[in-house]
Structure 1
Amino acid sequence: MKMLNIHAAKTQLSGILTDIERRGVRYVICRDGQPVADLVPHRPINRMVPNKKLGAIRMKFAPDEDLSPRDWPTAER
């Protein structure tokens, strides 16, 4: 991880981005010697992959249908 002050980050931004892109280098941008921000390689969002088996599930009832009192267990009525 390399540390840069704000002025260096502004004047060398193109080269810094190339370094990050090609070599995966991480940078910390500092103001008055204190870390303010990290420049790190971008990682694509890991989206969940749909499970094809879930699409095959068929319900024998409509989940949004109201239940009649006789459909409830006796203890719950």
Structure 2
Amino acid sequence: MRHVQVTEAKAAFSGLLAAVEAGETVAITRRGRVIARLVPDSPTMAADVFQPFWDHPEEIDLVVPDERPPEPVATL
């Protein structure tokens, strides 16, 4: 992981984005402390997020809420 000072990051932002796009992670630092990280995006499908639930459906106890009429809206 490459560490870059804020001032350098501001001056070379396009180059940093190109590096991140190529798979590199860049840490942005201020006074020697990491304040942000630029990381490559890894798209996640909703199906991937919920996969653990589908693998063990017996462990999930979902309850459908009772049907209720809509609440009145106050007018001003």
The TM-score bracket by the shorter chain reads 0.5 to 0.7
- 1:47-66 deviation digits (Å, cap 9, x = unpaired): 117xxxxxxxxxxxxx86xx
Gaps of 5+ in 1: 50-62, 65-77
Q: Report the equivalent of 2:7.
A: 7
Gaps of 5+ in 2: 49-63, 67-76
Matches within 5 A, 1:1-77: 1-22=1-22, 24-48=23-47
**Cα distance in 1 between the residues matched to 2:35 and 2:9:** 12
**Cα distance in 1 between the residues matched to 2:46 and 2:3:** 32
Letter in 1 for 2:27: V
Identity of aligned residues (%): 34
- Root mean square deviation of aligned Cα: 2.1
- The 3-state SS of whatever aligns with 2:29 is strand
**Cα distance in 2 between the residues matched to 1:30 and 1:46:** 32
TM-score, normalised relative to structure 1: 0.58
TM-score, normalised relative to structure 2: 0.59
| Count of residue correspondences | 51
